[in-house]
Amino acid sequence: MRRRFATVVVLVASLGLLLSGCSADAPEPSATAPADAGAVRNDLQYGTASGEKLLLNACLPEGAKGATAAVILIHGGGFDSGTKDFGGMTALCAELADGGIAAFSVDYRLAPKYAYPAQVNDVTAALEWLREPAQVAEFGIDPERIGLFGSSAGAIIASSIGTKGSGSLNGGDRVAAVVALSPAVDLTESGLLLGDPSKVAIASILQYLGCDDFTECPNARDASALYAVDKTDPPFYIAMSKNELVPLAQGQAMALALKSVGVPVILDVKAGKRHALELLDEATRASIRQFLIEELVTASTRTD
């Protein structure tokens, strides 16, 4: 109990650096980790799919006492671009580690060559790999305190895994928390009625689903996190803008569905058009920081 309480104190003090370079008013963070960050290990192979190596970057806290919480970072890019080093994910990875949480920024197979569920399967494979005893020991992580942090396309993947996970928190693909920046959660034809989705967003989703339209798309419902919500889902933090690329109605529908089954959810709505990592202003950083502390750190002491 005392050791975990100390971890909470460290996180409260240190996570003020979390996402500090990612506000909409600042330039995109450098892909180079700060010199004073914890141990950074790049290009670790967590699996193989379709003959391709699946890689991740690991950012580990220095001087951790006992097992630490962990977060898997899932990049955006419209499903057809981006890497584990894309969009400030490397900087975010290092900042989380500096605040006491192990972070793992993952690659996944991209569209149009690969369609759903390839992307979900890949990130799930990373989660399961991290929970293997060898990785738990090597990285010093607690397999029961792993969360997902997804941005845009990555938020869709994170939401899907978060709602479809099964098993216990120390096995299977269940996670302890989900942070989703600008997620689309209803990818069916009905989802088009949620707000006014842009042509860019629609094209990205169809490419992800491997379909030409929504009317004849067998993957659409299965890929939609909204239809998989149940009372066993982890707490969610959803951030969106009122007039961004993904209609706010998508996030509102997800928040309503989660609340209806008793799952804790925060829907953080911003003014304007900021999308995904652009949402990370000071207030949002503070809210996410508190969410991660409560769901991945403080929660672990409640039954001690």
Mean pLDDT of 150-178: 92
More confident residue, 153 or 10: 153
Is the model's pLDDT at 216 over the cut of 70?
yes
The pLDDT of residue 190 is above 90: yes
pLDDT tops 60 at residue 189: yes
Residue with tokens 């690969």: 114
Q: What's the longest Cα–Cα distance across the chain?
A: 56
Q: Residue 207 is part of a domain; what is its CATH number?
A: 3.40.50.1820
Separation CA 274–CA 50 (nearest Å): 35
Q: What's the chain's average pLDDT?
A: 87
Q: What is the pLDDT of residues 280-293, one digit of tens each?
A: 888 888 899 899 99
**How many whole angstroms separate alpha carbon 272 and alpha carbon 285?**
17
Of 13-22, 184-193, 259-268, which range is least confident?
13-22
pLDDT confidence band for 299 (50 / 70 / 90): low
Q: What are the tokens at 245?
A: 């690329």
Quote the domain boundaries for residue 43. Answer: 2-301
Distance CA 13, CA 274 (A): 28
The per-residue pLDDT for 300 is: 55
pLDDT at site 84: 96
Give the chain's end-to-end CA distance (angstroms, integer): 6
Least confident of 18-27, 61-70, 80-89, 163-172: 18-27
Please determine, for residue 210, whether its predicted confidence score (pLDDT) is greater than 50.
yes
Cα(107)–Cα(77) distance, rounded to whole angstroms?
12
Higher pLDDT, 17 or 74: 74
The pLDDT value given to residue 298: 77
Q: Residue 87 has what pLDDT?
A: 59
More confident residue, 210 or 19: 210
- Cβ-in-10-Å burial (0-12, 13-18, 19+) of 259 comes to middle
Residue 301: pLDDT band with limits 50, 70, 90: very low
Among 211, 173, 168, 172, smallest CA distance to 189 is for: 211
SS3 124: helix
Q: Is the pLDDT of residue 13 over 60?
A: no
Selected residue with higher pLDDT from 283 and 23: 283
| Inter-residue contact 237 to 288 (CB < 8 Å) | yes
| Tens-place pLDDT, residues 88-133 | 788 889 889 988 999 999 999 999 999 999 999 999 999 999 999 9
Q: Tell me how many domains the chain contains.
A: 1
Which residue, among 65, 52, 59, 87, has the nearest Cα to 10 in the 3D structure?
65
Burial annotation 34-62 (CB, 10 A radius, 16+ → b, else e): beebbebeeebebbeeeeeebbbbbbbbe
For residue 131, what are its two tokens? 């929970």
CA atoms within 13 A on the CB side of 78: 13
- Confidence bin at 9 (pLDDT 50/70/90): very low
In three-state secondary structure terms, 198 is coil
- Taking CA 76 as the corner, what is the angle to CA 285 and CA 130, rounded to the nearest 5 degrees? 80
